[in-house]
Amino acid sequence: MEASKVIHAIYTDDDVLMSAVKKVKAERYHIEEIYTPFPVHGLDRAMGLAPTRIAITAFIYGLIGLAVATVMMNYIMIEDWPQDIGGKPSFSYLENLPAFVPIMFELTVFFSAHLMVLTFYLRSKIWPFKEAENPDPRTTDDHFLMEIAVDGNQEALETLLAGTGAVEVNLVDKAH
């Protein structure tokens, strides 16, 4: 891929960042990425990011966990070897259901939680030995960085960003 140019605007305050995002969006520029040291409340909405669907996946994973627990215990306790253990009614799953509920609950939570976390890692592309994608190490401490693609509008964009309270505006060559 050819090298393209981006502008990095650096801010030192999240309130300034928020108003800058609103101004840049109002001027219809496309914000490629924003790097912040901590979650900035409302930033996703200001950027116009689509809401996450991770809760929906968690619900589905929970249902899978519930099904696994039910099928497993029905097979083991009722179908494969229905023993009389302390007088518990192993005639059908429903008759002995209360004894299975703790496990059904825990496996639902287990599947829901763990698979959701794995989904998060996969979708966010996070894993051990993953190379950090940080354009400026200061953004992990106390600086906020907004990255905007440049296509022939460099000067207008730089003036706009300087007017939003950016402490630094840098033109960066970025190899995609």
Partner 1 sequence: MYTFSNKLKTFSFILMILGALGVGYGFMTSHKSFEEVEHLLAEESHHGGGHGEAVAHHAAPSHEAHGEAAHGETVHAEDAHAKHVTHVQHQIANRPWSALYVAAFFFFMIALGVLAFYAIQIASQAGWSPVLFRVMEAITAYMLPGAIIVLIIAVASGTIGHYNIFIWMDPDVVAHDALIQGKAGWLNIGGFAIRGLIFIAGWAIYRHFARKFSIAQDNAEPGDISYFKKSFRIAAGFLVFFIYTESMMSWDWIMSVDPHWFSTLFGWYVFASMFVSGITVIALMSIFLKSKGYLAFVNENHLHDIAKFMFGISIFWTYLWFSQFMLIWYSNIPEEVTYFITRINDYKLPFFGMVVLNFVFPLLMLMNANYKRMNWFVVMTGVVILVGHYIDIFNMIMPATVGDRWFIGIPEIGSVLLFGGLFIFVVFMSLSKASLLAKGYPLMKESEDFHY
109 binds partner 1 (CB under 8 A): no
How near is the Cβ of 24 to partner 1 at its closest, in Å? Answer: 24
Sheet of 31-35: strand order equals 31-35, 144-149, 3-11, 168-175
98 binds partner 1 (CB under 8 A): yes
How near is the Cβ of 99 to partner 1 at its closest, in Å? Answer: 7
Whole-number Å distance between alpha carbons of 23 and 72: 56
Q: How many residues bind partner 1 (CB under 8 A)?
A: 6
How near is the Cβ of 87 to partner 1 at its closest, in Å? Answer: 7
How near is the Cβ of 19 to partner 1 at its closest, in Å? Answer: 18
Q: Residue 11 or 62: which CB sits closer to partner 1?
A: 62
- First-to-last alpha carbon distance for the chain, in angstroms, is 6
175 burial class (0-12, 13-18, 19+ CB within 10 angstroms)? exposed
Candidate ranges 31-39, 96-104, 107-115, 168-176; the one touching partner 1 (CB under 8 A): 96-104
Interacting positions 118-157 with partner 1 (CB under 8 A): none
Query: What is the DSSP secondary-structure string of 72-137?
Result: HHIIIIIII----STT--TTSTTTTHHHHHHHHHHHHHHHHHHHHHHHHHHHHT--TTPPP--S-G
67 binds partner 1 (CB under 8 A): no
* Binding interface with partner 1 (CB under 8 A): 55, 59, 87, 98-99, 101
